[in-house]
Structure 1
């Protein structure tokens, strides 16, 4: 039988590295406001279009006050919380994320009609910060209806940065809000997906809940959407070059697993070897 070898893991300086983000301390923060609603979405997304059966999952938390909202990954928050608690206890080894988290937080400022996006680059890369208008989406209303969580919802569509989106929103909750950057419909978005099914957000809970909306005090790198999109594309085009950029003294090895025997072997990546990573961004 012909042995098939598959690229599974990369290692940097003897530590496991995947295309995910390193956890950070959440000890330092400022309070943006107090939520009136907390909406939870189950998110599923496809990172590698050549492997359509490998779906990643996360929960996106949307905290809404009268002046601000914040959308963020619960999985990333959990990693950060675990890291912070371990750090306080003097631990030197921290658990690695078991799976990828959606690396984007979005804070919407209703008074200014803009949003600030915080995008974590893979591994120990920078956390980018950039601003955009909230008026990004040109929604087209339809007469189609569907019931979600007991709410009557209408369907709206839009084209946005390379994807066609279908959104289901309810006017029973007159909040022009949704997960991630989505906003601008005359009711809360309870479900939204792109036409390929690569990215899906399904609302699973809506709570009237008061809790602080926090912005963590990280070292953000000011940028723009265009610059961040280019940076992320370059990182995935050649992960070896990206690792050298963020850790010049590090080395990188590739692990291959024999699919018949299960044996794993390693080899060091050459200095100029290109190591691409699958990339299917939410904004193409």
Structure 2
């Protein structure tokens, strides 16, 4: 960790030359009582802040290495984001089957910076708290790192956020690595677009409708195939009757609700209770 954090100190010195300052966070979160874990990327360049799953980088590297490959992946955490530096105006990107959507929102954080501090290696971190998205959050930031940014929509503190978690410990971020890239990193293939699919701008209400429509009949395409005499395979099981397909529909609806734990509770999709 010492080497990682020492590297961070050099970043802002060279910022004017168009590099990307990259910070890797480990994200731990809970879904249906299960512990989930993945790495997330926070890229900061001269103009923009971007946040996305690390596995997009892995896939992008493979495609570039072997040339002409168009391997794809999807987000695991559903926290794809772009905003202008030192701004609270966010654009978040969401996939739904083969569609891609973008939502715009203003998310100014009202932080309460406390006097409480702690040491992390050679860094003095300071504690701050805020209410956001229907959750109570605690952040530990370093005034020594002059980026007023952090994971996902969390920004506005006088220093880079190193650690962040909500009161119920359902979401937790920890800075684990930093990299200084010599050029502004291009994310257009997997963030601004989803491998060539341009995002459709929608309101929160419109996005909820898209998700609720899918929830109401997640096997609609399979239903068409079955009615035309075809055979449908779901999770290794051949479906040959409408009754079997109805059972799968109910199961998929249960799974959608069971594994839904939005980071922003106040923007949660209003799935039906029953």
TM over 0.5: yes
Cα deviation, residue 224, structure 1: 2.5
In structure 2, the CA distance between the partners of 1:138 and 1:247, relative to structure 1 (3 Å rule), is farther
Q: 3-state SS of the aligned residue for 1:276?
A: helix
Where do residues 26-37 of structure 1 align in structure 2 (5 Å cutoff)?
34-37=18-21
| 1:244-268 CA distance string (max 9 Å, x none) | 2x7663567666xxxxxxxx97763
Cα deviation, residue 107, structure 1: 1.0
Q: 3-state SS of the aligned residue for 1:117?
A: strand
RMSD after superposition? 3.3
Structure 2 unaligned blocks of 5 or more: 1-16, 227-231, 266-274
Contact 1:42 1:57 in 2 (8 A): yes
In structure 2, the CA distance between the partners of 1:270 and 1:46, relative to structure 1 (3 Å rule), is same
Contact 1:253 1:269 in 2 (8 A): no
Contact 1:76 1:102 in 2 (8 A): no
Match of 1:258 in 2: none
Where do residues 1-284 of structure 1 align in structure 2 (5 Å cutoff)?
34-48=18-32, 51=33, 54-79=34-59, 88=68, 101-110=76-85, 114-121=89-96, 124-133=97-106, 135-214=107-186, 215-216=188-189, 217=193, 218-229=197-208, 231-232=210-211, 235=214, 238=215, 241-244=217-220, 249=224, 268-270=244-246, 273-274=249-250, 275-277=253-255, 278=258, 279-284=260-265
In structure 2, the CA distance between the partners of 1:248 and 1:83, relative to structure 1 (3 Å rule), is farther
In structure 2, the CA distance between the partners of 1:132 and 1:210, relative to structure 1 (3 Å rule), is farther
| 1:63-103 CA distance string (max 9 Å, x none) | 1112111111012443466578789369xxx7988xx7223
Contact 1:151 1:170 in 2 (8 A): yes
Bigger helix share: 2
d(CA) in 1 for partners of 2:139 and 2:149?
A: 11
Aligned pairs, number: 228
Contact 1:70 1:213 in 2 (8 A): no
Cα deviation, residue 127, structure 1: 1.5
Bigger strand share: 1
Query: TM-score, with normalisation over the residues of structure 2?
Result: 0.69
Match of 1:3 in 2: none
d(CA) in 2 for partners of 1:81 and 1:36?
A: 16
In structure 2, the CA distance between the partners of 1:164 and 1:74, relative to structure 1 (3 Å rule), is same
d(CA) in 1 for partners of 2:22 and 2:111?
A: 24
Cα deviation, residue 163, structure 1: 1.1
